[in-house]
Amino acid sequence: VNNFSGVFPPAIYNMSSLRFIGIFGNRFSGSLRPDFGSFLPNLRELSMGTNFFTGVIPSSLSNISTLQMFVISRNRLRGSIPPSFGKLRNLQHLVLHGNDLGSYSSGDLEFLGALSN
Residue 103 has pLDDT above 60, yes or no: yes
- pLDDT at 98 > cutoff 80: yes
Q: Please, what is the average pLDDT of the chain?
A: 94
**pTM for the predicted model, two decimal places:** 0.91
Q: CB under 8 Å, gap of 24 or more: what pairs does 36-41 form?
A: 36/60, 36/61, 37/61, 37/62, 37/63, 37/64, 38/63, 39/13, 39/14, 40/12, 40/13, 40/15, 40/16, 40/64, 41/16, 41/65, 41/66
In eight-state DSSP terms, residue 25 is: S
Structural domains of the chain ordered from first start: 5-115 (3.80.10.10)
User: Is the C-alpha dihedral spanning 81, 82, 83, 87 positive or negative?
Assistant: negative
List, for residues 33-77, the tens digit of each pLDDT value.
999 999 999 999 999 999 999 999 999 999 999 999 999 999 999
